[in-house]
Amino acid sequence: MSQVKDAGPAGSPTPTRKKDRTHYLYAAVVIAMVAGVAVGIIWPDFGVQLKWLGTGFVNLIKMMISPIIFCTIVLGIGSVRKAASVGRIGGLALGYFLTMSTVALGIGLVVGNLIHPGSGLHLTKDLAATGHSQVSADSGGTVAFILGLVPDTLVSALTSGSVLQALLIALLVGFALQKLGPAGEPILAGIKHCERLVFRLMQMIMYAAPVGAFGAMAAVVGATGWKALQGLAVVMIAFYITCFIFVFGVLGTILWVVARVNVFSLLRYLSREFLLILSTSSSESALPRLIAKMEHLGVARPVVGITVPTGYSFNLDGTAIYLTMGSLFIADALDKPFSIGQQISLLVFMVIASKGAAGVTGAGLATLAGGLQSHRPDLVDGVGLIVGIDRMMSEARALTNFAGNSIATVLVGHWTGGLDRVQLDAVLSGDRPFDESMLDDAAPPEAGVIPDPPRERDRVDAMSPAG
């Protein structure tokens, strides 16, 4: 329960902020990693025997895959309906998000295929997956695959462990709710409550991450020695470099060519938000500030009100790069690489399944496990290999997601004629600095929830009580 305290001269009570304990979890994961490395080096045989700790944690993650996929996809389709209802702005935003998410996934695949970060670990013999003996080496061909997409019952899709069946049912339910129109709103609200419950469970499970990281690191280092640390370091450094190139090379170029806005100036304007994200490892913490700053920058309120919240669910560029690079790392480490066809199929799946994973601790890890479960179940246990460095990669994911959404907002504003160039130039040049007091009464919308279309009116100060 949140506590209250006096709010100053008015004497009205205001809730205090709930203490953020994610920093302790981050520290615990790092300590567990170091301890796991030490055990793997000093007592390698004992370290390999600790693999069950990592496997147990991965099984907890697998348990949450189907409900997360179902809730996020159904609600995501609801967001598409709401965005489409506001016409040109929503359509442009969704088209851009889909395109750039696909580009980010493709870049992750290209980099992963170029560097092969997991090659050389050869974990197949010592740490082969043990929980998927039921998976047949023969898929049965295309017909068997298509028939396998159809579950026995509507509910069994969420209990059978088949991610593709859960995805199919989520798509059908989402589109059915679209057809229901306003009558489907209570059902969507109920699914939203279910999603909150699922994500709360996911956050609880992530408190076991230190144990999983300890077991996974002890096992992999015990089996391969320093090669494991080399492979993990390579994938982590490559991920950071790829995110940097994507933001400044790809998105920065698009921003300059399309809108003649310097990406360095824009991101410097958002420097405080980047520091906030760096300290919390979540782009959610900067959502209200991004809304206020984009309006102050000169982007029209309807554009900001639609693009920013939608982007927090549909424009996860950093998460997209992480998903593909992580999948290829696990496959290479287990000496079971993806074929080109499997990589393309995985990309298509990730484009859909990655929506809605923003700001939820462990959701990216669950989506990664879901992609592997759907395409290569024999690789799912390998998710334990990446648990240790997942938190270290979360900052780059969050920063890239945030940068992508800020750039998208400016671009959509430019395309729809909702960008005040005079205001933008004045703000980026420092002539009209942002007033922090404008955030005093700000209340952030939920990520991924499209607010009602704002009324066209004269531009007022962003996030002010009058607005």
5 lies in a domain? no
Q: What are residue 14's DSSP bridge partners? A: 5
Which single residue is written with the structure tokens 């500030």? 289
Res. 266: pLDDT tops 90: yes
Query: Residue 123 — pLDDT band, cuts 50, 70, 90?
Result: low
Q: How many CB atoms lie within 10 A of CB 75?
A: 23
Q: What is the DSSP letter of 378?
A: G
10 lies in a domain? no
426 lies in a domain? yes
Q: Summarize pLDDT for 353-368 with one digit per residue, the tens.
A: 666 554 455 566 777 8
> Helices H, strands E: what count in the chain?
21, 2
Res. 384: pLDDT tops 80: no
User: What percent of the chain has pLDDT above 70?
Assistant: 74
**Token pair listed for 192:** 């939203």
Range of the domain at 329: 18-439
More confident residue, 182 or 5: 182
Cα 245 from Cα 234, distance rounded (Å): 16
The stretch 235-242 carries a mean pLDDT of 89
462 lies in a domain? no
Cα 139 from Cα 398, distance rounded (Å): 37
**Token pair listed for 370:** 């879901």
Q: Summarize pLDDT for 129-160 with one digit per residue, the tens.
A: 433 333 333 344 456 657 777 888 888 877 77
11 lies in a domain? no
6 lies in a domain? no
Confidence (pTM): 0.68
Cα 462 from Cα 431, distance rounded (Å): 17
217 lies in a domain? yes
CATH number of the CATH domain containing 434: 1.10.3860
The stretch 284-298 carries a mean pLDDT of 82
Query: Residue 81 — pLDDT band, cuts 50, 70, 90?
Result: low
Average pLDDT, the chain: 75
Least confident of 1-10, 41-50, 118-127, 307-316: 1-10
The stretch 239-253 carries a mean pLDDT of 93
Q: What is the DSSP letter of 448?
A: T
The CA–CA distances, whole Å, from 243 to 104, 236, 237, 319 equal 9, 11, 10, 10
140 lies in a domain? yes
- Domain tally, the chain: 1
Res. 414: pLDDT tops 80: yes
More confident residue, 441 or 456: 441
